[in-house]
Amino acid sequence: MKSNHEMLETLLCEIKVVLGENDIRGSDNLVEMGGNSIIAMKISETLKKRDKILVNVTQLLGARISDVELSQLQG
């Protein structure tokens, strides 16, 4: 099972890839960095399928990235 820090790092890496931006930090906001609801859904689905991490999409769109609720799927 991954720690919260590991899940956050996975989320940050995926956001960097999707946005094509290397300077993304936990204190950033996805929308302010150029993201939108479609990008948020894409990131959420990728992490769910690839890493078994659930991302709260509503929070991803409105909160600092480090404040987004992340949880590990079982199995």
Domains of the chain: 4-72 (1.10.1200.10)
Phi, psi of 3 (to 5 degrees): -75, 165
Q: Answer yes or no: is pLDDT of 75 > 90.
A: no
User: Over the stretch 12-49, which tens digit does the pLDDT of each residue have?
Assistant: 999 999 999 999 999 999 999 999 999 999 999 999 99
Are the C-beta atoms of residues 59 and 30 closer than 8 Å to each other?
no
Please give the model's pTM, rounded to 2 decimal places.
0.96
Give the end-to-end CA distance of the chain in Å, rounded to a whole number.
10
Report the alpha-carbon distance of residue 14 to residue 21 in Å, rounded: 10
Structure tokens at 9: 């790092």
Q: Write down the pLDDT at residue 39.
A: 98
Q: What is the pLDDT of residue 36?
A: 98
